[in-house]
Chain A
């Protein structure tokens, strides 16, 4: 899944895979870090700084310049995700939102409240899109009764990239 070529200002890209595109997004962060500043907002503890550092080292010896361009913040509740997005300034560099919906599946938060907060988050994402590309990674919903949240994000996205989980072939059952 190559996300880099489709990135452009004014475009919201949703990437839906079984693991919230963990490896792909780390590779993308490293690639973008080589080119300029990147904002990373992590909603599901998906950011792997060591993996990003490894990707960077494959491209350059001294990674400090690129590493200093990667600015990350984490959200642990959907309220925090909303605050993160609303406090992120509109800058002309890419913004990656990792596992945006993870905190919205929290059963301490009512479905209505999750819906309200997501609406607010999507509004903020629209603002960010105006100044730079925004990529949102999404794994399958954690709660069946809240899968409409995923649909809502995908509806707003300009492009939805889907990578289905590889299907295992038939296996020979063991005799003993």
Chain B
């Protein structure tokens, strides 16, 4: 028997168990095998279950009648179906479901990594010790916890591959290769020579992670094609018995918009992450994706491409598995009856105050830290604890005295870890080398916490229930009102409240320490941690562009005392704003950030206006690079479905004429042009003649962005006649 210790990199299903990849302490990559059985359950009408039993008897499975817990229905008589072939459980379940659709199924679609973690307590990317008989794992034990604040860094070998241009626009000529500090380029002119070089590099470097740009949508499919054409065998997997796993592109509707997800290429034994097809990679990078994989139990390749919601679902599944609760394939729990008045009272979101329009000096922004998850944990809000009738009384919020619900149980360690990371970050010097990594990990956890509330009400959430969703918002509104009352009792003016943050002001209060007493009082009253985001030298709350008397709650900008800016809802934050407008608006705000008071803000207006005039002159003289004028918009439907085509749809039609295909949710770039359709697709081979650029339209966009900045003071000073 041999023993090895190291980091668990990957787990996947095989026909006779599972494969594990271990990065050992002596820098070896071990492919290990382990016997592993998986079980799913069926419940329902007994006569149907008997038929299903007879149907399954012909298959290679073990059947058992047992009692298991459903979160909502309690103990249920179920048929347990156990197979030693985890790779084919989906087929087995699919066949059974087609034959017996009226049965309720549980635990049938739990990812293999979660089953493994629930059984062994060894988490992905965690340290573990294995006792081996050849390549077969006899025992495996965890040496670390996913909730550890300072995990031992994994000595990953990372190979980065990036083409010299976007393959969707033009054919790449070179592939840039980066490994450690070394960088070089491989020519793509001859596929044969290129494949031989790349194959040699892969064998020599044996990377754990291949990090690419356009790897999913172009590079890996292209490599497979060239390999077939040239006859040069190139297996990108470390597991030689596997082929690259490809998934098709798709469009789906989520968070109120159609999103396009490109094709995917997954590897076995090593990871492949396409930075251009990884959902939030730009925000928290590899460290964040690894942190999410660590706490959710979903593999790094999957987690990098999936939404945080998938991570939260996985955490709930893992908690359910550990608590012997079955995970339903289809949630059947429905909303309880509500009268008209009850519905009107319950069906609300977070509290949003109408801000006081204008420019305000010395304003503190205080935020509840992870408010919604904190409410869920503190008040035990979970689908099974909310809306239950106890002693003849229906509870509309969580039952504090009930056993801890599944959702709070899943969230508590996550919430605690994020708060600890935030505390560590606040104590560190910003120049400390650990800051970037900790920030990325905290951001990754933050996103999981952000979506966990939505998943209480999300239609496809396994453990969602609309009443628990409503209970969280009801509690948040109550807490915000409590915070407001505390602030007003202490003499503060509340300028604005937005879901989980308050903007307060009091004459003579301008240092962060001036607000400590208030924060302590709010925390004591509400029981939810609160933090000072900062004290603004000045902050502007904006009015509606249509009606100057109506404030817009989610649009504001301001400068903190250290000169840093915070802006929400303005052009600078919008993805469809051109880089040129964003740059000038940011420069304008940076200039205004030197002002220490609202009065000084007004003094700086002429300087900013000159900046804008110079920018416009540069535009008219053709001195602005066209790349900075590109507009990026998303297609919300198929091109044919547009009755009145948007500029993006016009650009898509231009490209369609050149053979490009578009799916709903895909973004595309264009310039505003003085031609029949008003746009010029950026991806077209022919460049736009500078004389055809619609400079007037760009100037209008600039004016609008500047109007946003100046409105708070100009409405009081003089009419808008500056441009």
Contact = CB atoms under 8 A, between A and B. Distances in A.
Given A77-B459, A113-B101, A72 B334 contact: no
A163 to B, nearest CB: 21
B341 A74 contact: no
Contacts of A52: 340
Contacts of B460: 77, 108
B51 to A, nearest CB: 17
Nearest to B339: A68
Interface string A121-154: 0000000000000000000000000000000000
Contacts of B343: 47, 49, 72
A72 B340 CA distance: 7
Contacts of A47: 343
Given A49-B343, A53-B344, A83 B334 contact: yes
B166 interface: no
Question: Which has the most chain B C-beta neighbours within 10 Å: A52, A64, A74?
Answer: A74
B339 A73 contact: no
B466 interface: yes
A35 B101 CA distance: 41
Nearest to A66: B340
The binding surface of chain A is classed by DSSP as helix
Contacts of B336: 73
A21 interface: no
A103 B335 CA distance: 15
A67 interface: yes
A67 B334 contact: no
A159 interface: no
A157 to B, nearest CB: 24
Nearest to B337: A71
Interface residues of A, number: 28
A87 interface: yes
A107 B459 CA distance: 13
Interface size band for B: 20 to 34
A72 B466 contact: no
Contacts of A64: 341
A75 B459 CA distance: 9
Contacts of A74: 335, 466
A67 B332 contact: no
Contact of B340 (A67, A73, A80, A108): A67
Contact of A68 (B331, B332, B341): B341
Contacts, number: 62
Given A71-B338, A80-B334, A116-B101, A50 B344 contact: yes
A80 B339 contact: no
Contact of B337 (A33, A73, A77, A83): A73
Given A67-B339, A113-B101, A73 B334 contact: yes
Interface string B315-355: 00000000000000011111111111101100100000000
The binding surface of chain B is classed by DSSP as loop
Contacts of A113: 101
B331 A67 contact: no
A68 B331 CA distance: 29
Contacts of B347: 49
Contacts of B331: 77, 79-80
A72 B344 CA distance: 11
A33 B330 CA distance: 34
Interface string B225-257: 000000000000000000000000000100000
A67 B341 contact: yes
A69 B466 CA distance: 21
B720 to A, nearest CB: 25
B341 A72 contact: no
Contacts of B252: 107
B332 A72 contact: no
A70 B252 CA distance: 35
A84 interface: yes
B255 to A, nearest CB: 15
Contacts of B330: 77, 79
Contacts of A68: 339-341
Interface in A29-72: 33, 47, 49-50, 52-53, 64, 67-72
A67 B340 CA distance: 5
A52 B343 CA distance: 12
Given A71-B339, A77-B330, 19 more contacts: A49-B344, A49-B347, A53-B344, A67-B340, A68-B340, A70-B340, A71-B338, A72-B337, A73-B334, A73-B336, A73-B338, A76-B466, A77-B331, A77-B459, A79-B332, A80-B333, A83-B332, A84-B334, A108-B460
5 nearest CB pairs, A to B: A76-B459, A67-B340, A70-B340, A71-B337, A79-B330
Interface of B: 101, 252, 330-341, 343-344, 347, 459-460, 466
Interface of A: 33, 47, 49-50, 52-53, 64, 67-77, 79-80, 83-84, 87, 103, 107-108, 113, 116
11 contacts: A47-B343, A49-B340, A49-B344, A67-B340, A69-B339, A74-B335, A77-B331, A77-B460, A103-B459, A107-B252, A113-B101
